[in-house]
Structure 1
């Protein structure tokens, strides 16, 4: 078995005390030493600051997309970082007439793992508005199609900010609890397997989130789990396995008065292996 650490974090673009937050994120990445990282709301040029000195290899959506989506200059985009040099296999634009304001592209990469072969690592972000579950349903269907196009023998790993609760149709579809458009799939929700408690990642308990929650939700006490690490199903990967060993929140406390982001991150330890 090979231990693999996966981390996802929405870094909140340049809001707040950006320099202090970037330094805090970088220090925690050095300490946690993840192998696969999905970032959301990364501004062009920020990725180098985030992963400096970590040994990670990074790709920002601005490096691989043909054109910048609207609002990316304000809200940033998706980026990934991996312990081993990766190869981007697809960049998926999840905008549509039902979701014209999604500046975050989905990145899909093949990452070579020593002695195991390549794994597909997918870093999505879906529509953020409370009333856009129909768009998110379309977007998660597109994610499962993307996986089918590029999956390898090893279980696919998908990590990001899905802007959706566990009981929404899109997340229920991804975790095999309901069908959409006559289709079904299955991924393990790492938090459900090995996390403790509700695992809220966007909360009024975080002062960085309070302003946006007040503007977008308009409720004084709001807590949701929006950030996920999902692991491919044994039905799609019958000859390999990825045991979820541990799942926990990170960046969920201030350091010297600084909160890293408006989201808490999620870090997951997996044991990957081949079934003989």
Structure 2
């Protein structure tokens, strides 16, 4: 049951019942790491292996498939990526000789049930065998896993492959062999397939893997194309060590069976000082098990991130990104973001959080600050449309306040998502700002979600004015967000209008006392047909 954007009046986004309860998604990465003995000069393995390990760790995969992996590279990653188990076989002898299609899985998440290897040839069980018109032996490694977080769910079959770079017939037959192995090994399993397929989207191997064969639909779908239905010009995954090489074919794929929800899928363009960690960009996907009777929901996260500085005094964007990723949100309202300011090292924090989470991102400036801007941000699973910064009323000597609105288009219909941060000192200022928010969206028939640090409690005049026009998604809940170490008040809120357009499935505070000086609020909404 693969679902993404559907007509708005039916659904805004999809999450499984487990998602509503906060179960962790499965994070998948496929990465051709370039064989370590290649004479690549400044891009030689010893000069880039640390960067490559950091790139993998930044995505924090639960399942990782690597290609062109020599035994020493497997061992390096096994040491660098603590908490993972590895399974691999050299393509030449089934042991340590030659390149490997290594699989890594997080040991605290998965228990190994079975595993093995097969070669892309007419004799797939024979180590070192070369098939059809292939130039070199090619191997796939597979592992069957039990998810410790859902032990009663189906096992996961994870296959990682590397197809021949020259043999056209070999690539097609190899793709078909993967389908055969999915049928043989994957009975009763959810399936994930990663690999470097050395072929583009219009190729015979792509159709062999994802298209119909003998009038039968493929058991697999292309996660990237499902998440990005319209083909773009910059979807290439082979870099040749050039970070600007984003054109060309998308030859690295992540496929999955049809009983997953594809939450995110992308191409990781990580670069540093004009260099990339390999001659391929890694590709990623975030998946959730789908259930036949799952509810259609929208996960909204509201988070004042205190310019990504924690209560320990550390400026740590990856830590904030981990909090966001763990919530698996569809929409994120961020307050107190910096944009290229001196105090936070000139970083565009909205853009960096978007990169680290795999979400679309935008920044709305409230004030000029330290050579840059300070304000609010929005992250979204869906592409962002029109963006508007609405000034809110306030005294001249008070910090300027804004509401930042982004339109999210879903199947031709729009949802307005708004984040705001009201005055922190004067109740009268907050009351004026609340009245302005009511006026800005008065009479709208399309759905609007407002999330932010309102600096006011549910019993205040400002909040009462808002809830006269908006529905409080956290009403009746004791969701305490500040002080972060011992929360005693709720000043962070999620509201929506018109009334009756959503049903509140759940509302909770995330137990995170260090990353910021506020705790984030997560609300799960179920759209209601008009």
Q: Which is helix-richer, 1 or 2? A: 1
Aligned position for 1:237: none
Q: In the alignment, which of 286, 292, 311 is matched to residue 275 of structure 1?
A: 292
TM-score (norm 2): 0.43
Q: How far off is 1:141 after superposition? A: 1.4
Cα distance in 2 between the residues matched to 1:94 and 1:173: 14
Aligned residue-pair number: 248
Alpha-carbon distance, 1:104 to partner? 3.5
Cα distance per residue 1:228-273 (max 9 Å; x no partner) = 000113xxxxxxx2111111112x2422343211111101001114
**Deviation at residue 179 of structure 1 after TM alignment:** 2.8
Deviation at 1:43, TM superposition (A): 0.8
Q: Do residues 17 (structure 1) and 39 (structure 2) align?
A: no
Alignment of 1:230-245 (within 5 A): 230-233=255-258, 241-245=259-263
Structure having greater relative contact order (Cα 8 Å, sep ≥ 6): 1
Superposition map of 1:1-276 within 5 A: 1=18, 2=23, 3-14=25-36, 15=38, 16-51=43-78, 52-62=80-90, 66=94, 72=98, 76-83=99-106, 84-95=110-121, 96-114=130-148, 115=150, 116-129=153-166, 132-176=167-211, 178-179=212-213, 185-195=218-228, 197=232, 198-203=234-239, 206-207=241-242, 223-233=248-258, 241-250=259-268, 252-275=269-292
Q: Which runs of 5+ in 2 are unaligned?
A: 1-17, 122-129, 294-530
4+ aligned runs moved over 4 Å, structure 1 = none
Please tell me whether the aligned partners of residues 178 and 209 of structure 2 are also in contact (alpha carbons under 8 angstroms): no
Q: Deviations over 1:186-230 (max 9, x none)?
A: 4110010114835210146x43899xxxxxxxxxx9711100000
**Deviation digits for residues 25-75 of structure 1 (CA, Å, limit 9, x no counterpart):** 211222211000100000112112124243111122139964667xx2xxx
Structure 2 distance, partners of 1:144, 1:53, is 30
Q: Distance in 1 between matches of 2:248 and 2:168?
A: 18
Change (3 A) 1:86 1:24: farther
Counterpart-to-counterpart distance in 1, 2:275 and 2:224: 26
CA distance in 2, matches of 1:253, 1:156: 27
User: CA-atom RMSD, angstroms?
Assistant: 2.8
Q: 1:106 to 1:63 in 2, by over 3 A?
A: closer
Aligned mates of 1:48, 1:89 — CA distance in 2:
19
Preserved CA contact (<8 Å) 1:242 1:270: yes
Distance of aligned partners of 1:97 and 1:46 in 2 relative to their CA distance in 1, 3 Å threshold: closer
Cα distance per residue 1:126-184 (max 9 Å; x no partner)? 1111xx322212111111111111114342110110111111112113222x436x765
CA contact (8 A) 1:123 1:158 kept: yes
Deviation at 1:5, TM superposition (A): 0.5
d(CA) in 2 for partners of 1:63 and 1:262? 20
Contact 1:111 1:120 in 2 (8 A): yes
